[in-house]
Chains A and B, each alone.
Chain A
Amino acid sequence: MSKVEFNKETGPREVFCGLTSIVWLHRRMPDAFFLVVGSRTCAHLIQSAAGVMIFAEPRFGTAILEEKDLAGLADAHEELDRVVNDLIARRPEIKTLFLVGSCPSEVIKLDLATVAEKLNKRFLGQVRFVNYSGSGIETTFTQGEDGALKALIPLMESSNEEKLLLVGTLANNVEDRFKKIFRNLGISNIESFPPRQSTKLPKIGKNTIVLLTQPYLSDTVRDLKHRGCEIISAPFPLGIEGSTKWFLAAAKAFKISELKVHEIISPLINRAKLALDSHKEILKGKRLFLLPESQLEISLARFLHNECEMDLIEVGTPYLNKDLMKEEINLLPDNTKIVEGQHVEKQLDRVRESNPDLVVCGMGLANPLEAEGISTKWSIEMVFSPIHGIDQAADLAGLFSKPLKRNQILTSKTLVTH
């Protein structure tokens, strides 16, 4: 392991909670509905974080707790029953209903597991109920997906068929590209989790070889291991280097020669390097500060340093699973400063002191930093854009070069903000 500096920090944070992941999960599974059991804050959070108005009736909603629900839990269970009945009557096309716990539902100890069990009996053969927590007292941002996937594992049937299972939400076009490349490598049986249809869950067992596409799935990995799946240890498929090592690791598990892998992906790599060059031109030697949010920070830091030649000032991450991130950390340059957790004020002090060229941060911080003359990139865009794989390496670099390029075009540095 390279000599990386690990630090921990606690204090006030500026990070989304796990409910936010509903924004991409519901798009991945168009036959599922996500019902948050929470407060008006939860409802407001999801609609605000999504940053868009709803163009049609959405497939997520909040059962907002009211004063009378807090008075007696028995009544709250009954009320939730009523809300679910109304919802299913209104949306008969829904096949899976996720009951999502929130901070208030966790604090009042609303037992969503029992509610889900009862509802499963009543709606047997019509709708499946799954529960998990996206609460901000337990999860940050992308961890919500970890919870949702973990909750689906008990519903997955067993099979000893040999297969490659890609775990973690991907953009559909990226998923298709990956599958094509794996087929070219000679791996024919490939499935994705989460699937595009909530009812078509992959079967898993001891011959299931799991390849993670996202770095925030600690609990899901643990439960997949319990079901006998083999987990491939690899960096994540961001950038050319990460993706290459990711393909190689998968090939090794399927006893496919490295030579074969290089033969298939070399043209892709050459093409991607060419595309990456113009971005590298801008990013090279620029100093980068990553604030914690999406949990992708370590992989992004590796890509932006190794492939785009940026200098890393600090790599924040909301939490660190050293085991899962082992391969990534090994690829980081020596003396990289990783900070787990956050004290947002102290961290912003360090941002100002270090005078970075680019800060990766949440939407709440971006404009205030821009107003101080510091270029930023919002981290939420990483979870909404197709950034995985060799073919997307230049697009990924483009997310970071664009603000810098824009900064060169707009030369006025002392703006009055209103």
Chain B
Amino acid sequence: MELTLWTYEGPPHVGAMRIASSMKDIHYVLHAPQGDTYADLLFTMIERRGQRPPVTYTTFQARDLGGDTAELVKKNIKEAVERFKPKTLLVGESCTAELIQDQPGALAKGMGFDMPIVNLELPAYSKKENWGASETFYQLTRTLLKEKVSSSDKINPLRWRELGRRPKVNILGPSLLGFRCRDDVIEIQRILSEQGIDTNVVAPLGASPDDIKRLVDAEINICLYQEIAEASCEWLKRNFGMEYTNTIPIGIKNTIQFINEVHEKLDLPLTNKEELENKSKLPWYSKSVDSNYLTGKRVFIFGDGTHAIAAAKIANEELGFEVVGLGTYSREMARQIRATAKDLNVEALITNNYLEVEDAMKKAAPELVLGTQMERHSAKRLGIPCSVISTPMHVQDVPARYSPQMGWEGANVIFDDWVHPLMMGLEEHLIDMFKHDFEFVDGHQSHLGHTATNTNNILNSDEKKEKNRKEGIIWTESGRAELTKVPFFVRGKVKTNTEKYAISRGIPEISDETLYDAKAYFS
């Protein structure tokens, strides 16, 4: 049993709903009680969808449990098929139905329908939303393509030459309730098209079962979100020999690497790297003098695996930030997050508990947080600017404007979204220069309102006082005065470091000199 106050991911059947709702001509009969219908609002309210998710809930009640819930399942399947006439039927159960073991998938298969039926077994007590989405997409792909497995030869990625046409790829993984998927798909298709590559199928977003059957018309697969599409890509590789890409094209370097990877797999001549770099404004904006102040900005990153890893790379290599924290709630991607964290010399945080994330954020004392909507709230409490980079989705994460994360335009969006919450370079220089003027008293630093970094707050919180009393540490007048001169955004960190230094040296009173000793020691 796990105490959960808030969760980053929903249950696995919500993942299945994401796949069903993303597609056309599919219906999902979900053996579930009435309360589970709440999930519809994720699509109709957060995504502002004008259609209901294609889901029928069997709505069993306590009084049905003594009787024949299996009959209820069959009745709902029959009605749903007659009414919606899907080309493929998904059948599954939510957490409660899993306990009563009616096996709705098997029931559906025994009802004599012509259409393919996908029996979804998504263990609700051990798995979560992204896993459910991945498994559903995989089972669907497998069901619709299994007939073609034995008959087909392995797909040669170079066959487009013999066929006398442009190479074709599938874009796999984008779904509803995925972060900026709608716009990423447009951006990636545009990039591929510029490189002379056609898109065969985008799935699940906007695809029909017929499109899934056509996946094998492409040469390779683009795995755009590993959380959703890796299992399917792997199956297509194993059974049809279709190669798939591993690079997620978020950020300039990754987008270039992604293009290279696609070209290598298709044996296309490469475009000049410099020409590619100039497709986005990010490299120049990052290089321009105003961005000097971005150097070494401390950034804390938490999100789904795909976006957190990409964010760490952009922060570190393209914007010159210092990554001081990296984590994910995607346990399936823990290994990759750990590897990235190791490269950056930080400890990876793998958790579904937002309070743990907030604690880690506090300890890392970042100047910018890149996280989910929950980290935005935590950062707000701590007075730290934040930009949202990942699901879970909020209505604000579905902007009206074109706003991808991937590709060239994605890099532009990222530069703006990450840098605007910070003070601009010139603004920061001015504050630094004039910080001793009366206009710049503590707590009056730009529009961000850094309440948490007020010197008196830092020195006088009960928690801090108590800790210092235990350690026998006192801040002298000169020490306090010097601390107020430290820029507010690193003041907390300087104070902690100085105290750490004083304790390790057995220095009971911290004066201005101790502060400089500590500064020299840590630098």
Contacting pair B14 A13 (CB below 8 A): no
Q: 1/0 per position for B1-25, CB-CB distance to A under 8 A?
A: 1111111011101100000000000
Query: In angstroms, how far is the closest chain B Cβ from the Cβ of A21?
Result: 11
Instruction: Tell me, yes or no, whether A129 is within 8 Å of chain B by CB.
Output: no
**Most B CB within 10 A of own CB, among A18, A19, A63, A368:** A368
Contacting pair B37 A14 (CB below 8 A): yes
- Beyond A40-B10, A53-B374, A86-B3, list 19 extra A-B contacts (CB 8 Å): A15-B34, A16-B37, A16-B38, A19-B35, A41-B14, A43-B6, A44-B11, A45-B35, A48-B38, A57-B5, A66-B2, A104-B99, A137-B64, A363-B40, A364-B37, A367-B44, A368-B50, A415-B50, A418-B48
A40's nearest neighbour on chain B, judged by CB, is B11
The 12 listed contacts between A and B (C-beta, < 8 Å) are: A41-B14, A45-B35, A53-B373, A53-B394, A54-B6, A56-B381, A69-B1, A83-B1, A104-B96, A135-B33, A137-B65, A417-B49
Within 8 A of A (CB), among B18-68: 33-42, 44-45, 48-52, 56-62, 64-65
Instruction: Tell me, yes or no, whether A371 is within 8 Å of chain B by CB.
Output: yes
Residues of B within 8 A of A69 (CB): 1, 125
Contacting pair B99 A40 (CB below 8 A): no
Instruction: Tell me, yes or no, whether B151 is within 8 Å of chain A by CB.
Output: no
Q: How far is the CA of A40 from the CA of B57 in the complex (A)?
A: 18
Contacting pair A136 B35 (CB below 8 A): yes
A11's nearest neighbour on chain B, judged by CB, is B59
Select which of B51, B62, B94, B123 is within 8 A of A368 by beta carbon.
B51
Select which of B49, B125, B373 is within 8 A of A65 by beta carbon.
B125
Instruction: Tell me, yes or no, whether B79 is within 8 Å of chain A by CB.
Output: yes
Instruction: Tell me, yes or no, whether B83 is within 8 Å of chain A by CB.
Output: yes
Instruction: Tell me, yes or no, whether A119 is within 8 Å of chain B by CB.
Output: no
Q: How far is the CA of A372 from the CA of B24 in the complex (A)?
A: 18
Instruction: Tell me, yes or no, whether B344 is within 8 Å of chain A by CB.
Output: no
Q: How far is the CA of A205 from the CA of B158 in the complex (A)?
A: 86
Instruction: Tell me, yes or no, whether B377 is within 8 Å of chain A by CB.
Output: yes
Query: In angstroms, how far is the closest chain A Cβ from the Cβ of B383?
Result: 14
Q: How far is the CA of A104 from the CA of B42 in the complex (A)?
A: 22
Contacting pair A136 B48 (CB below 8 A): no
- Whether A40 contacts B124 in the complex (CB less than 8 A), given A76-B1, A83-B1, comes out as yes
Select which of B51, B64, B128, B381 is within 8 A of A40 by beta carbon.
B128
- Whether A64 contacts B49 in the complex (CB less than 8 A), given A15-B37, A70-B125, A136-B33, comes out as no
Q: 1/0 per position for A79-120, CB-CB distance to B under 8 A?
A: 110110011000000000000000110111000000000000
Residues of A within 8 A of B182 (CB): 418
Q: How far is the CA of A104 from the CA of B36 in the complex (A)?
A: 12
Q: 1/0 per position for B314-326, CB-CB distance to A under 8 A?
A: 0000000000000
Instruction: Tell me, yes or no, whether B106 is within 8 Å of chain A by CB.
Output: no
Residues of A within 8 A of B56 (CB): 12, 345
Select which of A45, A70, A371 is within 8 A of B99 by beta carbon.
A70
Residues of A within 8 A of B34 (CB): 13-17, 136, 140
**Most A CB within 10 A of own CB, among B57, B76, B83, B94:** B57
Q: How far is the CA of A371 from the CA of B95 in the complex (A)?
A: 32
Instruction: Tell me, yes or no, whether A347 is within 8 Å of chain B by CB.
Output: no
Residues of A within 8 A of B289 (CB): none
Residues of A within 8 A of B128 (CB): 40
- Whether A44 contacts B10 in the complex (CB less than 8 A), given A83-B3, A364-B52, comes out as yes
**Most B CB within 10 A of own CB, among A14, A57, A69:** A14
Instruction: Tell me, yes or no, whether A156 is within 8 Å of chain B by CB.
Output: no
Select which of A79, A137, A417 is within 8 A of B60 by beta carbon.
A137
Instruction: Tell me, yes or no, whether B355 is within 8 Å of chain A by CB.
Output: yes
Q: 1/0 per position for B119-149, CB-CB distance to A under 8 A?
A: 0000111101000000000000000000000
Residues of B within 8 A of A18 (CB): 35
Residues of B within 8 A of A64 (CB): 1-4
Contacting pair B125 A39 (CB below 8 A): yes
Contacting pair A362 B3 (CB below 8 A): no
Instruction: Tell me, yes or no, whether B100 is within 8 Å of chain A by CB.
Output: yes
Contacting pair A44 B125 (CB below 8 A): no
Instruction: Tell me, yes or no, whether A316 is within 8 Å of chain B by CB.
Output: no
Contacting pair A371 B377 (CB below 8 A): no
Residues of B within 8 A of A125 (CB): none
Residues of A within 8 A of B14 (CB): 41, 44
Contacting pair B377 A55 (CB below 8 A): yes
Query: In angstroms, how far is the closest chain A Cβ from the Cβ of B163?
Result: 35
Contacting pair B4 A137 (CB below 8 A): no
Query: In angstroms, how far is the closest chain B Cβ from the Cβ of A370?
Result: 7
Instruction: Tell me, yes or no, whether A353 is within 8 Å of chain B by CB.
Output: no
Q: How far is the CA of A55 from the CA of B5 in the complex (A)?
A: 12
Contacting pair A40 B49 (CB below 8 A): no
Select which of B6, B39, B45 is within 8 A of A367 by beta carbon.
B45
A367's nearest neighbour on chain B, judged by CB, is B44
Instruction: Tell me, yes or no, whether A187 is within 8 Å of chain B by CB.
Output: no
Query: In angstroms, how far is the closest chain B Cβ from the Cβ of A65?
Result: 6
Q: How far is the CA of A12 from the CA of B54 in the complex (A)?
A: 13
Instruction: Tell me, yes or no, whether A232 is within 8 Å of chain B by CB.
Output: no
Contacting pair B6 A136 (CB below 8 A): no
Residues of A within 8 A of B37 (CB): 13-16, 362, 364
Q: How far is the CA of A16 from the CA of B37 in the complex (A)?
A: 7
Contacting pair A39 B124 (CB below 8 A): yes
Select which of A67, A80, A345, A417 is within 8 A of B126 by beta carbon.
A67
Q: 1/0 per position for B448-467, CB-CB distance to A under 8 A?
A: 00000000000000000000
Q: How far is the CA of A140 from the CA of B34 in the complex (A)?
A: 8
Residues of B within 8 A of A256 (CB): none
**Most B CB within 10 A of own CB, among A41, A56, A69, A135:** A41
**Most B CB within 10 A of own CB, among A12, A69, A368:** A12
Instruction: Tell me, yes or no, whether A336 is within 8 Å of chain B by CB.
Output: no
- Whether A67 contacts B48 in the complex (CB less than 8 A), given A137-B61, A364-B38, comes out as no
Query: In angstroms, how far is the closest chain A Cβ from the Cβ of B399?
Result: 12
Within 8 A of B (CB), among A340-372: 345, 362-368, 370-371
Q: How far is the CA of A145 from the CA of B1 in the complex (A)?
A: 25
